[in-house]
Amino acid sequence: MEVSTRAPGRAPAEVVWERYAHIHRWPEWAPQITGVEPSAPRLAPGVTGRVRGPLGVRVRFTVTEVDDAARTWAWRARLGPLRLALRHGVEPDGSTWVTVRGPAPVVLPYLPVAHIALRCLTRP
């Protein structure tokens, strides 16, 4: 299953993009992330790591694509046998979106959480 959500731009696109690009900043705007253990501090293809979530859950990830000029990036996340593919982008007006592909029982409950995170990401 593949679904998307977006949040309106309330901060400049450059600010929103830098919040994405600096991996250690993810917990500042994503309430479902309590910490990140990346192999590099900035988004780049091939960066790997783990995202820490509630109750000690650790999700492994690999960044697969980054386009700084277009302000888009993609990554794969996995927890045991569960796999998600996520694609993110920031529009010139600062609005942002995410498309999530994976099993419906994981994607559907994750979408509202992702939407809340995007609204926090775009805050002024």
Count of domains forming the chain: 1
pLDDT reading at 23 higher than 90: yes
**Domain limits at 58?**
2-121
19: exposed, middle or buried (Cβ count in 10 Å: 0-12, 13-18, 19+):
buried
DSSP code for 55? G
> What's the confidence (pLDDT) of residue 56?
87
Q: Give the ranges where 1-124 is alpha helix by DSSP (H).
A: 13-21, 26-29, 104-121
pTM: 0.94
Report the chain's C-alpha Rg in angstroms.
13
Mean pLDDT of the chain: 96
Lookup: tokens for 24: 């250690």
User: Residues 34-81: pLDDT tens digits?
Assistant: 999 999 999 999 999 999 998 889 999 999 999 999 999 999 999 999
CATH number at residue 28: 3.30.530.20
